Chains A and B, each alone.
Chain A
Amino acid sequence: MQLQPGALEDHVASVAELLERYGVVLDLGPDDALELDETPSGTLTFELRGFLPDGRQPHHAVLEVREVWRAAGDAFERSEYEYELLDHQRGYRRAFHLHDRDAFGRRFDVVVHEHCEQPIGVARCEHHAGLPVRDTFAAVELLVGVWVDPLVPDCGALQCLGE
């Protein structure tokens, strides 16, 4: 996934808008701005965190979207991501990750991996095999899709990396 320089702000705003359209309550005030962080090397990062559903305490589910974008030629490329769903009501964590490419490539011959914990904090397997998430909008639909599913994720059905 690549974007032209200057398009990242629009991207972050669009992802936040999609989350809110799905009914995710962002961990922000109604008029708060979103933040795009720029590191000394020019890398751009952002994090969006929100809750499903609205208006209840404690929050039943927490969604998190984190991405790192690095310069790739004239454009920026999504180089790392973490998409997380912590469903406290049903007691599980599902996560879709891309980070530490070299280490995962050497150790497991994969680029991406997933996490599945049920109950939260209890993982049968440290890293599961997974498929790359096409883009951030697909990630939002993936997380919300897991949340609406009447069945909790079957962590045992996933392929454990390293086994």
Chain B
Amino acid sequence: MTDEPRFITPAEAASTLRISTDTVLRLISSGALPAIRVSPRVIRIPAPAFAAFQAGWTPKRRAVTRRQRAIEVTLGSNERVSDPQHV
């Protein structure tokens, strides 16, 4: 199984899109190009997000339906936390 790069840098995106790095950073700041800000100087553009951006694809906003459930829902049901006095 090959482990392909999962992100590209703003400079790599700029080279691919044939625009300046500053323009890429502006796209990221505006939210047009999704990216992960690892630190003030390190930004990673997830490869799938860049592929979608390059293809001009934007997700369609999905409808949300409300369902009535008969039972209550709690998370963590498969985890156990014992009380201190029982440890």
Partners in one complex: yes
Complex alpha-carbon distance, A147 and B71, angstroms: 34
On chain A, the number of residues with a Cβ less than 8 Å from chain B's Cβ atoms is 53
Tell me if B44 and A148 are in contact (CB < 8 A). Answer: yes
Query: What total of A-B pairs shows CB separation below 8 Å?
Result: 133
On chain B, the number of residues with a Cβ less than 8 Å from chain A's Cβ atoms is 40
Q: How far in angstroms is the closest Cβ of chain A from B50?
A: 8
Tell me if A37 and B67 are in contact (CB < 8 A). Answer: yes
Asked if B17 is at the interface (CB within 8 A of a chain A CB), the reply is no
Asked if B69 is at the interface (CB within 8 A of a chain A CB), the reply is yes
Query: Which residues of B have CB within 8 Å of A35?
Result: 64-67
Q: How far in angstroms is the closest Cβ of chain B from A131?
A: 16
* B3 nearest CB neighbor, chain A only: A89
Tell me if B83 and A107 are in contact (CB < 8 A). Answer: yes
Using CB atoms and an 8 Å cutoff, list the residues of chain B in contact with chain A.
Answer: 1, 3, 6-7, 34, 36, 38, 44, 46-52, 58-76, 79, 81-84, 87
A sample of 16 cross-chain residue pairs with beta-carbon separation below 8 angstroms, ordered by A number, consists of A13-B61, A13-B64, A21-B34, A23-B47, A33-B64, A35-B64, A36-B66, A38-B68, A40-B72, A53-B6, A68-B73, A81-B75, A103-B83, A107-B83, A144-B46, A148-B46
